[in-house]
Structures are given as structure tokens and as C-alpha cells.
Amino acid sequence: MTHKPSFELSLTRRISAPPEFVFDAFVAGDQLSKWCAPRGMTVPKVALDARVGQGYRLTMEARDRSTFTVTGEYRELLRPTRIAYTWQWVDDATTALETLVLVELRPCDEGTELVLTHSGFSEPGMRDAHIPGWNSSLNRLVEMLDPRGTAANLALSGDPRSTNTWSVRIALAEKGLHYEMVQRAPHSAEQVRLHPFGRIPALRDGDFILFETSAIVRYLDECFPEPALMPASVRERARAEQWVSAASLYLYDAMIRRYVLQYLFPKGPGGEPDAGVIAAARVEITRHLAILDDAYGEHNAITGETFGIADLVLVPIIDYLARSPGGEELLAAAPNVSRALASARARPSFQATHPSAKPAT
């Protein structure tokens, strides 16, 4: 007799809640609906009868309205230490195989050690396809039960004074997300482990690590939809990406690297700011501000009415410029930019994350 191969995955989490609370999160429909789907997805439908021999049916919905339904039967319910249930995707020929989920809960100093084993996969690719979804879902479970909320998983590594780090912090504040701010310098050994190019910032979300400001903000926007940081229309999303790219490729170099940093870290003769570098930068900055002034027009957001990803990338650069010697004079020729900056400075997210403010968690 030949036996079909079986592959399994095993994941562990430490949760700051007693085992009874964690157990209930798996067997109460109102709690399952809050966490049992990867980030960026919702659970609009869940029905269950948490008794051995009875079953459940859970539907996950993506932002594009596509749905994924899983169903199964409870095989073991030993409160508060052990849960076993089958898992089978509905209307999906590639994953119609019935598998088994085993949840073991053990008391520990933090509260509960959760070990989830999902077994019975017929091939390693099918097993591996479930790992990101389970990791993301378990992150949400941790946040639902941990008093720290999202700070139990989200950690931002960088320097709060950096414009790029500041941009991500504004995004986190706009979303109302708690996180751990880990102060690290560019190219430090610790930062290189998160960002292979050694730059800042980098974001850790549980097991998931991401670098580059635009990618991080887009990830946060997909995972935590409200308020949206990307415009709704195709054209405005493209314009937002246009200004994010322009800020990185053109504005940062002239306004920050060759102007602001000349005053903060002088490299000219006698340890003074290099007047030649600054003069050349001012010519470019004047042209750049004129372009921005035309783009803002009567609006306080670069793509229209709503503050979004392009603004939170642009604002730290413009604010640093305004606070540098001669900066206000440069901005006086760009009244629309000055007005947009004043509007951004009034936002709670700007004030809470300003480099002069104490990093929030």
C-alpha cells in the first residue's frame, strides 16, 4: 500500500492574553470576523456551531470584492488548550483538498503561546501558499487581543529626522496606527539586516519586512484602508505616483541634499556652508517651486482635495526647506505651495510626527 505524501506548516505566536481569551477568538463568530483573514481583507460572513461534529463556514472578501470561502468541521474542542478542525476551500479546484488545522494553547509568561499546525497538504506549493495568509491573520489576532494593538506587530526602523521616515510616520498617524519607533542610523548593521541597501526607513509587520517609503505607505494603505491615502480614480492615482517619484528624483536632491544639508552639515571652506552649491541649488529650487505652485493651484493637496501619499512625501521636504536659512524667501514666490504647507502643518498627523516632537508609539 502506498501513502500519499502530506505536507504541513507550523506557526507560533506569543499573545498577551490568557488562553481562554485566545480559545474564544477561534470559536466565536463575532471574534473570528475581526481577524481570520489576511490584512486588507474583511470577513463579511461567518456561521458556526462550535461543537465537535458540527461545522463552520467563513467568507473572506478582498478590496476588489472577490470572495474566498472556507468550510470545515470541528474535530476537537478542549477549552482552553486545544482546537482541531478541518479546512476546505469552496469552489476552488486547486485547493479543494480537505486539510486539518490544529491549534494548541499553552500558558506562558506573556500570556499564551499559540502553536498552529496546518497539515494534510498534498504538495509543498499548496502548503507554502497558505503561510503568508496565516501569518497575516495571526498578526491580526495578536493585535485584537494585545493591549498594544498594532504596536504588537508594527515597528518602524529609521531616524525620525529623516524626511522618508517622517513620511511613513505621517501615514501611520493618518491611519491611527500604533507602532514601535526603533531609532537606527542609515547603514548601521541592524538596519542592513532589514534594508539590504542600508537606507531608512524599513517596516516590520510581524514576520514581514518591507523597505522603501512608497512601498511601505502603499502597503499600509492596502492593509488599513481608512482613511485612504491613494486617490480613487486611475488618473489621480497615476498623478500621485508621479509626484512621489518626482519628490525622490528631483526635489529631494536640490532642496534637501544640496540646500538643507549644506546648512546642517557644512562642507565648505572653513567648515562653512558651500556658497557655490547653495547658489546653484537655489536656482533649481526656484524652478521646482514654480512647478509645484502650478500643480497645487487652488488645492491644498497635490492631486486635489484629499491629503494623500504624494502630500506626505512632499510635505517633509518642503517643511525642511521652509525652516532653513532663506527658505521662507524662496517659498514667498510660491504662494500655493506655502498655503498647502500651512494646511499640512495644521494636521494632527503632522504635529504628532514632527521631528521636534517626541516619537510616538
pLDDT of residue 3: 57
* CA separation for the pair 81, 103 (Å, rounded): 8
28, 224, 197, 358: CA torsion to nearest 10? -100
The packing angle between helices 234-246 and 309-322, to 10°, is 30
Interatomic CA distance for residues 301 and 296, integer angstroms = 7
- Considering Cα of 133, then 135, then 139, then 141, what sign does the dihedral take? positive
Every domain of the chain with CATH number 3.40.30.10 lies at 151-223
CATH of domain 151-223: 3.40.30.10
CA distance 224 to 222: 6
Phi, psi of 197 (to 5 degrees): -95, 0
> What local confidence, expressed as pLDDT, does residue 305 receive?
83
Nearest to 202 by CA among 245, 170, 154, 257: 154
pTM greater than 0.75 (yes/no): yes
Tell me the CATH architecture of domain 7-147.
2-Layer Sandwich (3.30)
Distances (CA, A) of 213 to 133, 167, 172, 219, 274: 24, 7, 12, 10, 29
Neighbours of 325 (CB within 10 A): 12
CATH of 234-353, one of 3.10.50.40, 3.40.50.300, 1.10.3210.10, 1.20.1050.10: 1.20.1050.10
Amino acid sitting at position 103: V
Q: What is the pLDDT of residue 337?
A: 98
β partners of residue 89: 70
Strands lying side by side in the sheet with 208-211: 180-183, 154-158, 202-205, 208-211
The predicted pLDDT at position 361 comes to: 44
Low-confidence ranges of the chain (pLDDT < 50): 1, 360-361
pLDDT value of residue 92: 61
Residue 81's identity, in one-letter code, is: T
> What DSSP designation does 304 have?
B
Is residue 70 within 8 Å of residue 45, measured between CB atoms?
no
The pLDDT assigned to 342 comes to: 97
Please state at what angle helix 309-322 crosses helix 163-175, rounded to 10 degrees: 130
Which pLDDT score is estimated for 228?
94
Is residue 27 a contact partner of residue 155, using CB atoms and an 8 Å limit? no
Alpha-carbon gap, residue 286 to 283, rounded angstroms: 5
Tell me the residue ranges of DSSP E strands in the chain.
Answer: 7-15, 42-48, 55-61, 67-78, 82-89, 99-108, 111-121, 154-158, 180-183, 202-205, 208-211
- Domain(s) labelled CATH 1.20.1050.10 in the chain stretch across 234-353
Cis peptide, bond prior to residue 160, ω within 30 of zero: no
CB 341 within 8 A of CB 321: no
Range(s) of the chain covered by CATH 3.30.530.20: 7-147
